[in-house]
Amino acid sequence: MPQIVTANSLIEGDVVFRTADGGWVRDIDAAGVLADKAAAEAAHAAALQDVKAAKVVDVALIDVTAEAGKVVPVKLRERIRAFGPTVKSDHRADLKPFTA
């Protein structure tokens, strides 16, 4: 199963994803999709360097499906991390829930 590398940005705390060229972005569709174990391990190791460099924390490899440019985590927990809470905010109309 394809994987991507995720983390939280150190300063903002936001959920971020590692791109193919080693950047960190909030848009999961821009994540570098890792087709095999070797690629996943290399990306993970590189991401850990960014933990040392105080860019991100809590690095993890997660399983995803990647079709037609849409990257979707397999686990509900990771979908919620990627797309936000499934509850509408009672107080912020712009915080739209997604349907898990």
Partner 1 sequence: MYRYDEFDAAFVHERVAQFSDQVVRRVAGDMTEEEFRPHRLMNGLYLQLHAYMLRVAIPYGTLSSRQLRKLGRIARVYDKGFGHFTTRQNIQYNWPALKDIPAILGELAEVEMHAIQTSGNCIRNVTADHFAGAARDEVADPRPYAEILRQWSSIHPEFSFLPRKFKIAVTGAAHDRAAIRVHDIGLEVRRNEAGEIGFRVLVGGGQGRTPMLAREVNAFVPEKDLLAYIDAIMRVYNLYGRRDNKYKARIKILVHETGLDELKRQIEAEFEAIKDGVLTLPADEVERIEAYFAPPVFPERPAASASFEAARAADREFDRFARVNLHPHKTPGYTSLTISLKPIGGIPGDASADQMDVVADLAERYAFDEIRVSHEQNLVFPHVALDDVHAVWSVLKEHGLATANAGLVTDIIACPGLDYCALANARSIPVASRISERLGDPDRQEAIGPLSIKISGCINACGHHHVGHIGILGVDKKGVEVYQLTLGGSPDETAAIGEIVGPGFDSDQIVDAVETVVDTYLKLRSSPDETFLAAYRRVGEAPFKEALYGA
Enumerate binding residues for partner 1 (CB under 8 A). 8, 10-15, 51-54, 57-58, 74-77, 80-81, 84-87, 89-92, 95, 100
**Alpha carbon 11 to its chain's center:** 16
Q: How far is the CB of 90 from partner 1 (least distance, A)?
A: 5
By beta-carbon proximity to partner 1, the closer residue of 20 and 22 is 22
By beta-carbon proximity to partner 1, the closer residue of 20 and 95 is 95
By beta-carbon proximity to partner 1, the closer residue of 42 and 95 is 95
User: What would the 3-class secondary structure string for 28-81 be?
Assistant: HHHCCCECCHHHHHHHHHHHHHHHHCCCEEEEEEEEEEEECCEEEECCHHHHHH
By beta-carbon proximity to partner 1, the closer residue of 20 and 86 is 86
Euclidean distance between CA atoms 7 and 26, whole angstroms: 10
Q: How far is the CB of 71 from partner 1 (least distance, A)?
A: 18
Do the beta carbons of residue 84 and residue 67 sit within 8 Å?
no
Q: Which residues pair with 72 in a beta bridge?
A: 65
Q: How far is the CB of 43 from partner 1 (least distance, A)?
A: 19
